[in-house]
Structure 1
Amino acid sequence: MATLDQCKAALRIFGDELIPEELSRLFDHFYTQGWVKGYEYSTSSGKVAVKKTGAWILEAEPTDSADFDGQISQLLGYIDVSLDDWALLAKRFEMDIFCGWFMRESNEGISVSSQTMRLLSERNIALSIDIYASSDDE
């Protein structure tokens, strides 16, 4: 089995009471994307839309390989707070690692280390995955 072609991961935290700047102060790290509930923005069609909840999102640096464990290590390495702080955050907000796994071939795979699974579990962070297969036209 071939290994996964590419991986993109982001730590996402959502909540109605979430204020991105407050989390940035706690984490001592700025977000890649963030907004408060009710934030208005223009869609690509020019319509005004409203965010239904607040968000703090930190994207991992792009890599040339599918180093999922490395991306998780990088993301969590930016945030030096105690497991007690993570537990409090989990009570207030929804948290996940959202990742896109991109295949070049029809059968590719990836292994997630037990250490990575432990790091996510200790912090009450869910793992959300979108898998993208290459099309026959490519």
Structure 2
Amino acid sequence: MQLPQTSRSKHGAAFLSVKRTVCGQNCHSLESLASFIPKKGTIHDPFPGPQFNKVEATAVSVPEATFVSLKFSGDDLDPGVVSKILKKVPERCERIGDVLFTNSKGVDRVAKTGFWQLSAPDRLDGDLDAQIVAFLDQFTIDMVVWRELAERFQACIFCSLFVKTVNDEIILQASTLQMLSERGLSIGFDVY
């Protein structure tokens, strides 16, 4: 079988999705072949035998849309202080004990903890890596400030991914993961 055209990220990494039919059942696996894909050649099944009767390769797809938010939470979180430190106005914030809303029966919903959230502009190209980098570049580069916030509060970059298929792939570059680590930020995902 001839090797198909691979997709390349802007960072130069090549990725290939391998779909194998095993005993009549489709099995999907995503393999990062960045340093191993030959320019021309064939794909050889590493597990030959009667249980593997077909190997086909196709380019990997990426999510249709990605949404990213920076979130801080904690019982002693004062949104005004976080805003002042980061020099940003949140789109959502609350202090512990704030009445968030009152339902139709007159029962108040009260904030159980302090919360601060700001979202990055939405991306429809599936490039989560670039979205996170561009978003964090808008904030202070003082790592002492970031570490103090991360030590005081739960600090997170939260990502929502809207995928086209069950086989979509997201790769975060080591430099992006380092940005998160230097700032003490964890990363969370919701996949739809």
Scaled by the length of structure 2, the TM-score of the pair is 0.64
Secondary structure at 2:145's aligned position in 1? Answer: helix
- Is the alpha carbon distance of 1:77 and 1:43 closer, same or farther for their aligned partners in structure 2, counting shifts above 3 Å? farther
Matches within 5 A, 1:10-49: 10-42=69-101, 47-49=107-109
Q: Distance in 2 between matches of 1:107 and 1:43?
A: 42
- Is the alpha carbon distance of 1:16 and 1:74 closer, same or farther for their aligned partners in structure 2, counting shifts above 3 Å? same
- Determine if contact 2:85/2:145 at 8 Å carries over to the other structure: no
Deviation, 1:36, is 0.7
Identity of aligned residues (%): 30
Decide which of 107, 117, 121 is 1:57's aligned counterpart: 117
- Determine if contact 1:60/1:71 at 8 Å carries over to the other structure: yes
Tell me whether 1:128 sits opposite 2:188 in the alignment.
yes
Q: Distance in 2 between matches of 1:45 and 1:60?
A: 33
Q: Distance in 1 between matches of 2:104 and 2:178?
A: 42
Comparing both structures, which one devotes a greater share of its residues to helix? 1
Q: Distance in 2 between matches of 1:19 and 1:32?
A: 15
Q: Which stretch has the larger CA shift, 24-33 or 74-83?
A: 74-83
Greater length-normalized contact order (CA 8 Å, ≥ 6 residues apart): 1
Secondary structure at 2:140's aligned position in 1? Answer: coil
RMSD of aligned C-alpha atoms?
A: 1.7
Secondary structure at 1:121's aligned position in 2? Answer: helix
Decide which of 130, 147, 162 is 1:70's aligned counterpart: 130
Asked which structure has the greater CA Rg, the reply is: 2
| Cα offsets for 1:25-83 (capped at 9, x unmatched) | 11111112111111112267664211111111110111222121222123212211411
Q: Distance in 2 between matches of 1:93 and 1:111?
A: 27
Q: Which stretch has the larger CA shift, 44-53 or 92-101?
A: 44-53
Q: Show structure 1 runs of 5+ residues with no match.
A: 133-138
Q: Distance in 2 between matches of 1:11 and 1:109?
A: 22
- Determine if contact 1:29/1:78 at 8 Å carries over to the other structure: no
- Is the alpha carbon distance of 1:44 and 1:5 closer, same or farther for their aligned partners in structure 2, counting shifts above 3 Å? farther
